[in-house]
Amino acid sequence: MKRFSMWVLAVVLCALASIAIAQPPGGGFGGGRMFGGGGISMLGIPEVQKELKLTPEQIEQVKTKGTEIRTAIQEIFQEAGGFQALRDLGEEDRAKLFAKVQDVQTKAVASVLKPEQQKRFHQLELQQAGAQALGRKDVVEALKITDEQKEKLGGIQKEQGEAMRQIFQSVGNPMDMTSDERAAMQKKMQTLQKTLTDKSFAILTAEQSKSWKEMIGEPFKFPARGFGGRGPGGGAPRPGNN
């Protein structure tokens, strides 16, 4: 069975995330934690390890768990029909796929972090997720996001998700892309992500923006990365993360 490279996985995850954020509020736009918003991969970033004060033993656990998760996610994707089939998944199958991946990630992180490290990890997750976090149930409740705001946010995310999906569909097989083509694709996605971030946070009231900053804690600077690079940091700037 052919294994996906980390580059293919990165493109697939970005594409799936873009499809997910396009779902309407009725289905919970943003759909909980997105693929780009944390998980064990974030714990693999040295700067994050330092921020959370991970012990040498925990860092070794992250490496082990990372390998286990990559294998598990590859199997989940392959069971879903492989790379080409992922773009055409129906909403129900897509939700099941997200749930499987999130469950794997959640259990892995919980098995590594100590209770006192969980709070800061959650803050970093929110910072990294940025505008996509506004669709999480806990964030919606904490910020008291109104139905009108949900509708507006859903519209913005649907528009940006469609644009990102079109970029993904124009790729073909990522394995055949040159480094320049990968860089160009990444730049387009980062531009779309920044637009999504700016438009989404502009909808929040001053009080909600204040609450958001309190939720994410002290701003953390994620290291820049490219597809296939280390860690999930970087990308478009996040409010409160400059």
Contacts of 120 (CB under 8 A, 6+ apart): 51, 52, 217
Q: Does residue 237 lie in a domain region?
A: no
Structural domain boundaries enclosing 187? 6-216
Q: Does residue 238 lie in a domain region?
A: no
5-43: buried (b, 16+ CB within 10 Å) or exposed (e) per residue? eebbbbbbbbbbbbbbbbbebeebbbbbbbbbbbbbbbb
Q: Does residue 236 lie in a domain region?
A: no
Q: Does residue 231 lie in a domain region?
A: no
Q: Predicted confidence band at 137 (pLDDT cuts at 50, 70, 90)?
A: confident
Q: Does residue 33 lie in a domain region?
A: yes
Q: Does residue 224 lie in a domain region?
A: no
Split into its structural domains, the chain has a count of 1
Inform me whether the pLDDT recorded for 17 exceeds 50. no
Q: In angstroms, what CA-CA distances link 183 with 42, 130, 236?
A: 22, 22, 14
Look over the chain and give the mean of its residue pLDDT values, rounded to a whole number.
Answer: 75
pLDDT single digits (tens) 45-59:
999 999 999 999 999
Inform me whether the pLDDT recorded for 119 exceeds 90. yes
Q: 141-155, 176-190, 192-206: which range is least confident on average?
A: 176-190
Enumerate the β-bridge partners of residue 238: 241
149 membership: H or E segment, kind and range: helix 147-169
Q: Does residue 239 lie in a domain region?
A: no
Q: Does residue 211 lie in a domain region?
A: yes
